[in-house]
Structure 1
Amino acid sequence: MFDQLTRLAQDRSPLGRAELLSTITDLFVSAGCRVDEGICRLYSDIVGHLLPTIPYHEQSEFAARIADLPTAPHDVVMGLARNEIALAEPVLRYSPVLSEADLSELASELAREHLFCLASRQPLGEAVTDILVARGDSLLSRVVTSNTMARLSTAGLARLVRDASGDAALGETLARRCRDGGGSDNVVPFQLRPEGETRREPAPDGGAVVLSFAERWPSTPAPVPAVASVIDAVVSDERMLEVAMLLADHASLPVDLVSRLIARADPTLLAVLCKSAGVSRETFARLVTIRTERCGRPPAQNAELARLYERLSAAEALRALDLVRDRHVQGARPA
């Protein structure tokens, strides 16, 4: 091992630096809980020196690898969280190193795209959701509300209810959360009442607040803009994370699963998701181009993908999507 490290240390090419960092990370991970403060500090220094020198896709792989590592150095994880979205996303979603105070700090300062990653983190405390709801727009509020492991404070829920008075899609998401149990043990799900304006009432046990407001969202959702037109808008700004969230919401699939489906080498499932959502041929072509640029895929197949998308019918896409949902549900069941 020492000879290998010596050889890699002498290789100053970007790929050589990447292999050196990977090998040192192997050693660090293998130490497990035996890692002491000195080793952690030394590893952090090595990461800080090597990470900027390696290819971007290798940086992204490093971030994904370290995301769920409980012994990862705190400063490394915080640095990744503040980095570009491809490096920040896995640690914002999964890193156990980030405390509630860290998450609150990050929620207060990070850019909009990063906030979507935080909003889908599980679990998520009230302090963080309060900041996300205060800083975000309707789409971010829907992601927070859809996260059943995100606790909502009374103040946060009240703000969401006020915002939902002018946003049918958010109102339906709130209603669905309450029908499914709310996801917060300290907030009684609000009740939809046909006769009253928004008001507050003491909860039966005196420990929470019931929020009641006019029944704007019956069991049949109010008409909302087609998801395809919203995707058209966000694709124009290359906001791929929001595209994944919109497709996930439409397909009733987890956001992280849809993100992986979009990034995988085989683009067939991306075509299925887009066709089932009614995404236009032009928007799908733009999505494929962005994906090609970001993931380093060869652009030669783009024209063939466009023809495949043209031939794919909506009925075929919906049948394929049903199969994807079934596999996801079966895979999520405990053994």
Structure 2
Amino acid sequence: MTEALKTELVNFSELTGEAGSARRAELARHVATLFALTSDRCSDEQVDIYDSVLLRLVDMVEAEVRRYVAEQMSSLRRGPEETIRRLADDDIEVAEPILVRSTVLRDTDLIKIAEKRGNTHCFAIAQREVLSEEVTDVLVRKGDLKVKRKVAGNEGASLSDASLMVLISDAAADATLQLSLSERGDLAEAHIASLVAVASEEVRKKLQAAGREEEAVRLDEAADVAAQHMSNQYWLGRYDFETARSRVILLAKRGMVNEAALRRFASEDRFAEAVATFSWLVRAGVEEMSHWMVRPNPEPFVILAKASGFSSITISSLLSIGPWRHRLTPEVRSESMALFERMTIAEAKRKMSHWTSTVLN
């Protein structure tokens, strides 16, 4: 094979010294062009021969010639793997076409280069047509804002939940990143809520305008939920819901969790226990109910309570404890109780059914 390599492609003995500089450049271009034209018809053995020759040649020529070789190799479905890896790890003016286009590179190659090299190499990788989560995790972790913008705007880039949350967090200070994220079609409900929470008014309008009417409604709800949860944390952080939940579970095992127990907790202003008890009785999560029972608009809670058959005395007590003692005005409490008294259980259940497909989700 060594003899074939010398006679069929290159005689390296003729390329030594200063006089061989032009010849080396010419041969590198020639061999790269020849392989690009014939790669689909080459046997595996022939590809290996080309790989050996090109690998030696690219180490003997200037960056301009290496760039030419990289351009020739970048779009090939089959290629000299070692040469392509060598070019991908070159300076960015050489590596760029390989990093952007070559499908010969594997994820392990891309990750290694992204870890080893700087932002220019990461930016080139971020432009690839398809990127796995493993690769984008590294790009998001290692890359600067320019790299993150490119990753976020790449529809072919798969993003893990962790990477998405990093990008959304960074987007709070960068409108361009917000716009890139807003145009992605793979954002889950939680991601949309987080993005809307940090998005500028300009981006929020774009998010809503780009979607269908149903999606726009979903975004409005996500924005509401995100804003409420942000402000709710201040109030809810004062209470130990985990301990309260454990106490209620013990009471439930004794058959002591009922509306009377709920009223007792309310009369004692034991908000965490009241939330845990209410959650148990309506078969809902404590965390979700804690947010319902702190929000400035208690209407959803009132409707759920009516649909679940609670008495007006119990609901009136709950509207005056915990954070609601500070967050609700007398007018809001009065209006809420009027709604509770006016509404029938059937009407409340119909509203709950509607919410199941909108607000609750």
8 Å CA contact 2:178–2:203 kept in 1: the answer is no
Deviation string, structure 1 residues 23-59 (Cα, Å, up to 9, x no partner):
2234333433332332222212211222232233122
Deviation at 1:119, TM superposition (A): 1.0
The letter of the residue matching 1:25 is A
Structure 2 partner of 1:240: none
In the TM superposition, structure 1's runs of 4+ consecutive aligned residues that sit over 6 Å from their partners are 2-9
Deviation at 1:80, TM superposition (A): 0.7
Structure 1 partner of 2:46: 39
Distance in 1 (CA, whole Å) between partners of 2:54 and 2:175 is 47
Q: 1:14 to 1:189 in 2, by over 3 A?
A: farther
Trace 1:277-296 onto structure 2 (pairs within 5 A).
none
8 Å CA contact 2:33–2:72 kept in 1: the answer is no
8 Å CA contact 2:179–2:203 kept in 1: the answer is no
The letter of the residue matching 1:141 is K
8 Å CA contact 1:153–1:187 kept in 2: the answer is no
Distance in 1 (CA, whole Å) between partners of 2:14 and 2:196 is 68
Distance in 1 (CA, whole Å) between partners of 2:84 and 2:189 is 35
The letter of the residue matching 2:87 is L
8 Å CA contact 1:17–1:53 kept in 2: the answer is yes
Distance in 1 (CA, whole Å) between partners of 2:149 and 2:76 is 29
Structure 2 partner of 1:135: 142
Distance in 2 (CA, whole Å) between partners of 1:133 and 1:6 is 43
Q: In the alignment, is residue 116 of structure 1 matched against residue 123 of structure 2?
A: yes
Q: Aligned pairs, how many? A: 197
Distance in 2 (CA, whole Å) between partners of 1:70 and 1:188 is 38
8 Å CA contact 2:29–2:65 kept in 1: the answer is no
Q: 1:70 aligns with which of 67, 77, 85?
A: 77
Which moved further from structure 2: 26-35 or 61-70?
26-35
Deviation string, structure 1 residues 297-317 (Cα, Å, up to 9, x no partner):
xxxxxxxxxxxxxxxxxxxxx
Distance in 2 (CA, whole Å) between partners of 1:214 and 1:96 is 38
Distance in 2 (CA, whole Å) between partners of 1:28 and 1:173 is 39
Trace 1:201-220 onto structure 2 (pairs within 5 A).
211=194, 213-214=196-197, 216-219=199-202
Unaligned runs of 5+ in 2: 1-5, 206-361
Structure 2 partner of 1:191: 192
Distance in 1 (CA, whole Å) between partners of 2:12 and 2:109 is 35
8 Å CA contact 1:130–1:156 kept in 2: the answer is yes
Distance in 2 (CA, whole Å) between partners of 1:126 and 1:4 is 43
Deviation at 1:221, TM superposition (A): 8.7
Deviation at 1:220, TM superposition (A): 6.0
Deviation at 1:68, TM superposition (A): 1.0
Deviation string, structure 1 residues 145-164 (Cα, Å, up to 9, x no partner):
11122122222111111222
The letter of the residue matching 1:190 is H
Q: 1:183 to 1:119 in 2, by over 3 A?
A: farther
The letter of the residue matching 1:130 is D
Q: In the alignment, is residue 27 of structure 1 matched against residue 10 of structure 2?
A: no
% identical aligned pairs: 28
The letter of the residue matching 1:219 is E
Kindly name which structure, 1 or 2, has the bigger radius of gyration based on alpha carbons.
Answer: 2
Q: 2:58 aligns with which of 48, 51, 62?
A: 51
Deviation string, structure 1 residues 184-232 (Cα, Å, up to 9, x no partner):
4x8568335xxxxxxxxxxxxxxxxxx455253223699xxxxxxxxxx
Deviation at 1:127, TM superposition (A): 1.2
Structure 2 partner of 1:267: none
Unaligned runs of 5+ in 1: 193-210, 223-335
Distance in 2 (CA, whole Å) between partners of 1:110 and 1:104 is 10
The letter of the residue matching 2:75 is D
Q: 1:189 to 1:18 in 2, by over 3 A?
A: farther
State the SS of the aligned residue for 2:59: helix
Distance in 2 (CA, whole Å) between partners of 1:137 and 1:73 is 31
Distance in 2 (CA, whole Å) between partners of 1:78 and 1:7 is 24
The letter of the residue matching 1:216 is A
- Tell me the TM-score normalised to structure 2 length: 0.48
Distance in 1 (CA, whole Å) between partners of 2:37 and 2:23 is 21
Deviation at 1:18, TM superposition (A): 1.8
Q: In the alignment, is residue 158 of structure 1 matched against residue 162 of structure 2?
A: no
